[in-house]
Chain A
Amino acid sequence: MATTTARPSSTRPPAGPAAAQRRGRPARHRTDGIAGYLFLSPWLLGLLTITAIPMLMSLYLSFTNYDVLSDWESMEWVGLDNYRTMFTDDPSFWHAVQTTLVFALVATPLKLAAALGVALLLNRPFKGAGLFRGLFYLPSLLGGSVALAIVWVNMFNRDGAFNSFLSWFGIEGKAWVNDPDFALGTLILLAVWQFGAPMVIFLAGLKQVPVELYEAASVDGASPWRKFINITLPMLSPVIFFNLVLETINGFQGFTSAFVLSNGTGGPVDSTLMYTLHLYIKGWNEYQMGYASAMAWVFLLAIGLVTAVVFRTGRFWVHYSDGED
Chain B
Amino acid sequence: MTAYHPLPRRRVLSGVVAAVLALPLALGACSSDDGAADDGKIELSFFWWGGEARAQLTEQALALYTSKHPEVTFKKTWQANQGYFDKLATLTAGNDAPDIFQIDDNYLAEYATRNVTADLSEYTKSGKIDVSKFQKGLVDYSTVDGKVAGVAMGENTQGLVYNKAKLDAAGVAVPTTGQSWQEHITWAKEAAAKAKIAGTMDPSADYKAFWVWLRQQGKEFYNGSELGFTQADVQAWFELWKGARDGKSTPTADVIHEGNATDVTKQLVVTNKALTSWVWANQLPELQKNTKDDLAVIAYPGDASKQWARASMYFSIYRGSKHKDVAADVLNFLANDPEAGKILGTDRGLPSNLDIRTQVAASTDNEAMKETIKVMDELGKNFGPAPTVPPKGHSTVRSELIKAAEEAQYGRATPAQAAEQFFAASQAAIKR
B342 to chain A, nearest CB (A): 35
Q: What residues of A have a CB within 8 angstroms of the CB of B255 in the complex?
A: 158, 175, 178
Q: What residues of A have a CB within 8 angstroms of the CB of B25 in the complex?
A: 51, 54-55, 58, 296-297, 300
Whether B8 lies near A242 (C-beta < 8 A) is no
CB of A21 closer than 8 Å to a CB of B: no
Whether A321 lies near B92 (C-beta < 8 A) is no
Give Cα distance in the complex from A205 to B26, angstroms: 33
Q: Mark A241-280, 1 if CB is under 8 A from B, else 0.
A: 1100110010001010000000111011110000010000
Q: What residues of B have a CB within 8 angstroms of the CB of A264 in the complex?
A: 82
Whether B257 lies near A178 (C-beta < 8 A) is yes
With an 8 Å Cβ cutoff, the count of chain B residues facing the other chain is 50
Give Cα distance in the complex from A263 to B260, angstroms: 11
CB of B32 closer than 8 Å to a CB of A: no
Give Cα distance in the complex from A50 to B30, angstroms: 11
CB of A324 closer than 8 Å to a CB of B: yes
Whether A325 lies near B1 (C-beta < 8 A) is yes
CB of A224 closer than 8 Å to a CB of B: no
CB of B23 closer than 8 Å to a CB of A: yes
Give Cα distance in the complex from A239 to B406, angstroms: 44
Query: In chain B between 388 and 432, which residues have their CB closer than 8 angstroms to a CB of chain A?
Result: 393, 395-396, 399, 402-403, 406-407, 410, 412, 429, 432
Q: Mark B341-366, 1 if CB is under 8 A from A, else 0.
A: 00000000000000000000000000
CB of A322 closer than 8 Å to a CB of B: yes
A303 to chain B, nearest CB (A): 7
Give Cα distance in the complex from A127 to B199, angstroms: 58
Whether A268 lies near B110 (C-beta < 8 A) is no
Whether B93 lies near A68 (C-beta < 8 A) is yes
Give Cα distance in the complex from A263 to B258, angstroms: 11
CB of A217 closer than 8 Å to a CB of B: no
CB of A71 closer than 8 Å to a CB of B: yes
CB of A174 closer than 8 Å to a CB of B: yes
Which of B6, B23, B114, B412 meets A236, CB within 8 Å? B6
Which of A236, A276, A322 meets B9, CB within 8 Å? A322
Whether A235 lies near B115 (C-beta < 8 A) is no
Whether B12 lies near A267 (C-beta < 8 A) is no
A126 to chain B, nearest CB (A): 24
Contacts A54-B25, A238-B9, A239-B7 hold; do A321 and B1 have CB atoms under 8 A apart? Answer: yes
Give Cα distance in the complex from A58 to B93, angstroms: 14
Q: What residues of A have a CB within 8 angstroms of the CB of B29 in the complex?
A: 54
Q: Mark A220-237, 1 if CB is under 8 A from B, else 0.
A: 000000000000000110
Q: What residues of A have a CB within 8 angstroms of the CB of B37 in the complex?
A: none
Contacts A69-B110, A69-B111 hold; do A307 and B412 have CB atoms under 8 A apart? Answer: no
Contacts A58-B26, A268-B406, A269-B403 hold; do A242 and B261 have CB atoms under 8 A apart? Answer: no
Contacts A54-B27, A68-B93, A269-B410 hold; do A238 and B12 have CB atoms under 8 A apart? Answer: yes
Give Cα distance in the complex from A54 to B94, angstroms: 13
CB of A98 closer than 8 Å to a CB of B: no
Contacts A180-B410, A245-B16, A307-B16 hold; do A263 and B6 have CB atoms under 8 A apart? Answer: no
Give Cα distance in the complex from A208 to B4, angstroms: 7
Contacts A68-B89, A235-B4, A303-B20 hold; do A175 and B28 have CB atoms under 8 A apart? Answer: no
CB of A299 closer than 8 Å to a CB of B: yes
Give Cα distance in the complex from A205 to B254, angstroms: 45
CB of B2 closer than 8 Å to a CB of A: yes
Whether A67 lies near B258 (C-beta < 8 A) is no
Give Cα distance in the complex from A92 to B261, angstroms: 21
Q: What residues of A have a CB within 8 angstroms of the CB of B93 in the complex?
A: 68-69
CB of B86 closer than 8 Å to a CB of A: yes
Closest to B408 in A: A269
Which of B5, B20, B116, B254 meets A322, CB within 8 Å? B5
Q: What residues of A have a CB within 8 angstroms of the CB of B111 in the complex?
A: 69
CB of B53 closer than 8 Å to a CB of A: no
B21 to chain A, nearest CB (A): 8
CB of A132 closer than 8 Å to a CB of B: no
Q: Mark B24-41, 1 if CB is under 8 A from A, else 0.
A: 111111000000000000
Q: What residues of A have a CB within 8 angstroms of the CB of B110 in the complex?
A: 69, 287
Whether B407 lies near A210 (C-beta < 8 A) is no
Q: What residues of B have a CB within 8 angstroms of the CB of A288 in the complex?
A: 432
Q: What residues of B have a CB within 8 angstroms of the CB of A69 in the complex?
A: 89, 92-93, 110-111, 114, 116
Whether A180 lies near B412 (C-beta < 8 A) is yes
CB of A286 closer than 8 Å to a CB of B: yes
Contacts A180-B410, A242-B15, A269-B407 hold; do A321 and B24 have CB atoms under 8 A apart? Answer: no
Q: What residues of B have a CB within 8 angstroms of the CB of A322 in the complex?
A: 2, 4-5, 8-9
CB of A320 closer than 8 Å to a CB of B: yes
Give Cα distance in the complex from A18 to B404, angstroms: 75
Closest to A288 in B: B432
Q: What residues of A have a CB within 8 angstroms of the CB of B24 in the complex?
A: 253, 255, 276, 296
Closest to A70 in B: B114
Whether A286 lies near B396 (C-beta < 8 A) is yes
B31 to chain A, nearest CB (A): 13
Q: Mark A79-113, 1 if CB is under 8 A from B, else 0.
A: 00000000000000000000000000000000000
Contacts A58-B27, A67-B114 hold; do A321 and B4 have CB atoms under 8 A apart? Answer: yes
CB of B19 closer than 8 Å to a CB of A: yes
CB of A313 closer than 8 Å to a CB of B: no
Q: What residues of B have a CB within 8 angstroms of the CB of A158 in the complex?
A: 254-255
Q: What residues of A have a CB within 8 angstroms of the CB of B258 in the complex?
A: 175, 178
B271 to chain A, nearest CB (A): 10
Which of B19, B86, B403 meets A267, CB within 8 Å? B403
Which of B3, B114, B393, B406 meets A269, CB within 8 Å? B406
Contacts A253-B24, A303-B20 hold; do A238 and B4 have CB atoms under 8 A apart? Answer: no
Give Cα distance in the complex from A241 to B86, angstroms: 38
Closest to A85 in B: B432
Q: Mark B256-292, 1 if CB is under 8 A from A, else 0.
A: 0110010000000000000000000000000000000
Whether A242 lies near B7 (C-beta < 8 A) is yes
Closest to B82 in A: A264
Give Cα distance in the complex from A323 to B8, angstroms: 9
B204 to chain A, nearest CB (A): 13
Closest to B405 in A: A269
Query: In chain A between 44 and 63, which residues have their CB closer than 8 angstroms to a CB of chain B?
Result: 50-51, 54-55, 58
Whether A178 lies near B23 (C-beta < 8 A) is no
A: residues with CB less than 8 A from B are 50-51, 54-55, 58, 67-71, 158, 174-175, 178-180, 205, 208-210, 235-236, 238-239, 241-242, 245-246, 249, 253, 255, 263-265, 267-270, 276, 283-289, 292-293, 296-297, 299-300, 303-304, 307, 311, 320-325
Extra pairs beyond A208-B6, A210-B4, A287-B89 (5, CB < 8 Å): A158-B254, A180-B406, A285-B396, A300-B23, A325-B1
